[in-house]
Amino acid sequence: MEGENLPKIRKGVTAVIFDRAHSPYFLILKRKKEWIGWEFVKGAINENESEEDAVTREIREETNLQKFKIIKRLNDIIKEFSTKDGTLHTHSIYMVEASMNIPIHIPKTEEAEHSTYLWATIESAESKLTWDNDREILKRVIEEIKTS
């Protein structure tokens, strides 16, 4: 059958949350489910959900942040990765501004994806982020912040 070996594709969003008033600092989460390391807020887009709605939902689910501002979608960069089941994930990247003075609440349930969070400097975020594509996204967001 034609197309039988094509990977399943799952569209998602990645939110790079930053606080411009403090240097800037970037919110990164420590993953504990499926793998261990540091990443940005991210997740799949649900059926009949817009990208912006998915960004808002994922931020609230993963951090419980209620006050933040979606600045823009970065149209010239996407994040792609495959999971163990062979699914190809393609994420649109969003810049999101928030205050690091507002408390973050990581869910403490058994099925929670993350164990903790960090508001990281550029250098700290670069060294802690687990995946190269997240470090590339960080560089792109930094360029965007500098020019805005």
pTM score, whole prediction:
0.92
Output 60 or 110, whichever has higher pLDDT.
60
**In the block, which residue shows the tokens 């099925």?**
111
Position 110 scores a pLDDT of 87
Where residue 4 falls among pLDDT bands split at 50, 70, 90?
Answer: low
Mark 38-63 as b/e (b = at least 16 C-beta within 10 Å): bbbbbbebeeeeebeebbbebbeebb
Structure tokens at 61: 């689910």
- % of the chain with per-residue pLDDT over 90: 83
Position 2 scores a pLDDT of 52
Average pLDDT taken over every residue of the chain: 93
Q: What is the mean pLDDT of residues 4-30?
A: 91
Which of 139, 148, 118, 131 lies closest to 37 in space, CA to CA? Answer: 131
pLDDT tens figures, 63-105: 999 999 999 999 999 999 988 888 999 999 999 999 999 999 9
Q: What is the mean pLDDT of residues 38-52?
A: 97
Q: What share of the chain is helix, strand, coil (3-state, %, to 5)?
A: 25, 40, 35
Where residue 7 falls among pLDDT bands split at 50, 70, 90?
Answer: confident
Domains and CATH numbers, the chain: 9-147 (3.90.79.10)
Which of 102, 95, 78, 94 lies closest to 146 in space, CA to CA? Answer: 95
- % of the chain with per-residue pLDDT over 70: 97
